Structure 1
Amino acid sequence: MRRFAFGLALAAATLLPSFAQATVVATISLSRQRANVSVNGFPTYSWPVSTARRGYVTPTGSYRPIRTERMWYSRKYDMSPMPYSVFFRGGYAVHATGYVRSLGRPASHGCVRLHPVAAATFYRLVQQYGMGNARIVITQ
């Protein structure tokens, strides 16, 4: 019995930190105009995105979210609405767009645009697991 209890305690100590350290990773491909989201290492969502159009840049790299805003208005681009914003570098964010017909091709000023339902889902995941346990990876 004692061996069983020790084994159970060891298993719990080994498994529980993985749940406590749950991770959300959004990998955004500029060339494919696609976001693939994994939760705890399991592929969970795949969505079309719009990133920077000609003349603008979406920065590549690996980022932790730095701020979330349920509703934000761009101070740089005529107070354009940016619902479900997850900011990852300065004014760059993953956020919802009303221009859903443009998803799947470059169309933004540099942000990563998602369908409103997808953006709400990603925003909630970041809220649920915490910004420290989320990552946004942008690749060519």
Structure 2
Amino acid sequence: MPAVLVLLLLSGFLSRAEAATVVARVDLSSQRMTVSVNGVPRYSWLVSTARRGYVTPTGVYRPQRLYRMYYSRKYYNSPMPYSIFYSGGYAIHGSYAVSQLGGPASHGCIRLHPSNAATLYSLVQSYGRGNTAIVITR
């Protein structure tokens, strides 16, 4: 069983019967997301998380709301393609500021290249929010 699922099971977040089949693991220190499907790593992408003065919360989450296209009400109606909200106003979403990927640049959300965000969005839709875990670590 993959280490991430073992950690989730031991933490009590997931029972063996409901273990997530899609795990998006975000490492804030490396600014990278690794996506595993059925325990097999499938993707590794650069991300941008919170810049100085902002926070990307760590923890284990499930997707709450999905929007193919969302416009930020807080930040100048900025487009957020393929948004996956996981905690209040925090989301994983596509960003057209692709040159900033790989370094902290956001107000707290997790930014991906739009094509990678579309891939993750599709996986969450296919496998279901209840079968998806988002794990954010330092």
TM-score bin, normalised by smaller chain: 0.7 to 0.9
- What is residue 30 of structure 2 aligned with on the other side? 32
Whole-angstrom distance in 2 between the partners of 1:91 and 1:83: 15
Whole-angstrom distance in 2 between the partners of 1:75 and 1:136: 24
- What is residue 58 of structure 1 aligned with on the other side? 56
* 2:114 aligned residue (99, 113, 116): 116
Give the structure-1-normalised TM-score: 0.84
Aligned to 2:33, the other structure's residue is in SS state strand
Give the conservation status (yes or no) of the 8 Å contact 1:36–1:45: yes
* 1:131 aligned residue (124, 129, 136): 129
Deviation (angstroms), 1:22 = 6.3
Give the structure-2-normalised TM-score: 0.86
Deviation (angstroms), 1:43 = 0.3
* Large movers: runs of 4+ above 3 Å: none
Could you say which structure has the higher helix fraction? Answer: 1
- What is residue 76 of structure 2 aligned with on the other side? 78
Deviations 1:58-83 (A, max 9, x none): 00000000010000001111111100
Whole-angstrom distance in 2 between the partners of 1:87 and 1:71: 12
Q: Any unmatched runs of 5+ in structure 2?
A: 1-15
Number of positions where the alignment pairs a residue of Structure 1 with one of Structure 2:
122
Give the conservation status (yes or no) of the 8 Å contact 2:20–2:133: no
Which structure has the greater CA radius of gyration? 1
